[in-house]
Structures are given as structure tokens and as C-alpha cells.
């Protein structure tokens, strides 16, 4: 089976939580990796998400933590600040 990994950076302006085990994370730039596997269906071929990992800072390095993409999207929505007029 063919797999692909996509990487993107997300920016948080405020502290946030996406995984209770990882706890509150400080504002900053975070790397998100999504692994997908190629599947062939009757209607059309497609990729299916296998895992989503977030690189979280630790003392002396980073740790990869499995996260739910919907929880990440919700945290990013909460982080958006309204424009000041």
C-alpha cells in the first residue's frame, strides 16, 4: 500500500490544549504531520487519514503527540482574535 505524509505549520497566538495528556502548550509555531494511505474504492481511488501528529516542545527537544484533527481545528478557531476597529 502507498502512504504519503503531509506536513504543515500552524501558529497559535495564545496558549492552547489539543490533548489532555500533553497539557497546555505555549503560543508558537507547531508542525503537524498527517499520514494517509492510498485506498481504491469501487467509486474512485482516494487517500484515507491514518494518523495526525503534532510536534510539541519539551525540555531538550520535541515530542510527537497523536491528535484529533477536529480538536486541532477547534483550538485554531478559538485562537483567532477579532480585528480591532
What pLDDT, in 10s, does the model give residues 40-61?
776 777 889 999 999 988 888 8
pTM above 0.75, yes or no: yes
pLDDT, tens digit, for every residue of 5-27?
999 999 999 999 987 777 899 99
C-alpha cell at 76: 485554531
Task: Quote the cell numbers at residue 28.
Answer: 508558537
Phi, psi of 80 (to 5 degrees): -65, 130
Listed by start position, the domains of the chain span 3-79
Residue whose C-alpha is closest to residue 49's, from 39, 57, 61, 40: 39
Half-sphere exposure of 72 (CA within 13 A, CB side): 21
83 has a pLDDT exceeding 60: no
Q: All 3 cell numbers of residue 54?
A: 503534532
Amino acid at each position: 500500500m502507498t502512504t504519503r505524509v503531509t506536513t504543515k505549520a500552524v501558529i497559535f497566538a495564545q496558549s492552547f490544549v489539543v490533548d489532555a495528556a500533553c497539557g497546555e502548550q505555549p503560543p508558537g509555531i507547531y508542525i503537524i504531520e498527517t499520514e494517509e494511505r492510498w485506498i481504491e474504492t469501487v467509486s474512485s481511488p482516494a487517500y484515507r487519514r491514518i494518523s495526525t501528529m503534532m510536534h510539541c516542545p519539551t525540555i531538550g527537544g520535541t515530542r510527537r503527540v497523536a491528535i484529533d484533527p477536529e480538536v486541532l481545528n477547534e483550538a485554531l478557531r478559538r485562537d483567532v482574535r477579532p480585528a480591532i476597529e
